[in-house]
Amino acid sequence: AVCPECGYEFPPPKRSKHEAEAATANVISAGVTVTTHEVTGVNYSVHVKRDAPEGHPPTMRVEYRLGFNQYVSEWVCFEHQGYARGKAEAWWRARSQESFPKSCEEAVRICLSGGVAEPVSVTVRSSPEEKYPRIKACELGPTPEWLAERVEPDETALPEYEEGFDDDIPF
């Protein structure tokens, strides 16, 4: 560049070159952790949202046990529409050869009957800004074969309730 008044020619600005690769440091989200945990157990149940309006669809709660008294959950929306339903369909396809369940109750029955792949590990993202940790990935065992026969829970196998009060302490 040249000064229009005196004709002085300014030297070109010195440019510092940035790295050819993007940085891997956190941008703003300090305190965010992403950890992979081995799954030691899993529980499937129907979940109805607290204070949900009448007719609000239930979800299936999947609770992964990561260690002694350490759990993380995800909710699968089989009876919802739109984006949530699409996520549920993808979740099901990754885990089962069974047809997509019509209800959360049916999904829980299939899961408890061994119709879905067992989780091996989950990758969990925790952040101080979020109330609950999020499951970002799940490593699965082999997908089971199609269940030819549904195994329904046997409620008759439970012990029969007996009324009365027993004062004897068994120890």
Given the structure tokens 């989780």, which residue do they identify?
A: 119
pTM score above 0.85: no
Specify the amino acid at residue 163: E
pLDDT per residue as tens digits for the range 73-119: 999 999 999 999 999 999 999 999 999 999 999 999 999 999 999 99
- pLDDT for 25 equals 61
